[in-house]
Amino acid sequence: MRMLTTQAYIRLNSQKPALNIEEFCLEWIPKLYGIHPDDRLYRKACIREMVRLMQGAVKPSSVDKNWDFLEPDKGYPSYVKPVLTLAHQQYRIMETLGVLPKFTLDYDDSE
């Protein structure tokens, strides 16, 4: 089992967390879903990750229609940034330990 060293912990905590959806998706969607920004499924994966992180409190259709991923300060609810910051930090630690999860777009979310 890999351990998180003190040096790795300090390095992880000194990095600027991704606070908006665009930055978060650019960093994590390729790593979590294996889908890159130029792929036609990229937006769907980003929406899926937002719904997953909000633990079902939002619907995919609501995120798709009402959230502006490119407007970091007012394009989506204010609670999103703290959730993304926490997820970013957790994913960084998981990536360092070699236990970053892999997700797929297998199920239907056409609500």
At 111 the pLDDT is 45
- Residue 28 in contact with residue 92, Cβ under 8 Å? no
Q: CA separation (Å) from 92 to 7, 12, 23, 42, 103?
A: 14, 7, 14, 21, 16
Q: What is the pLDDT of residues 11-25, one digit of tens each?
A: 666 666 546 899 999
Q: Considering only residues 5 and 22, tell me which one the structure prediction assigns the higher pLDDT.
A: 22
The structural domains of the chain, with segments of one domain joined by +, span 33-74+87-100
Q: What is the pLDDT of residues 43-95, one digit of tens each?
A: 999 999 999 999 989 999 999 999 998 887 778 998 898 899 999 999 999 99
At 43 the pLDDT is 95
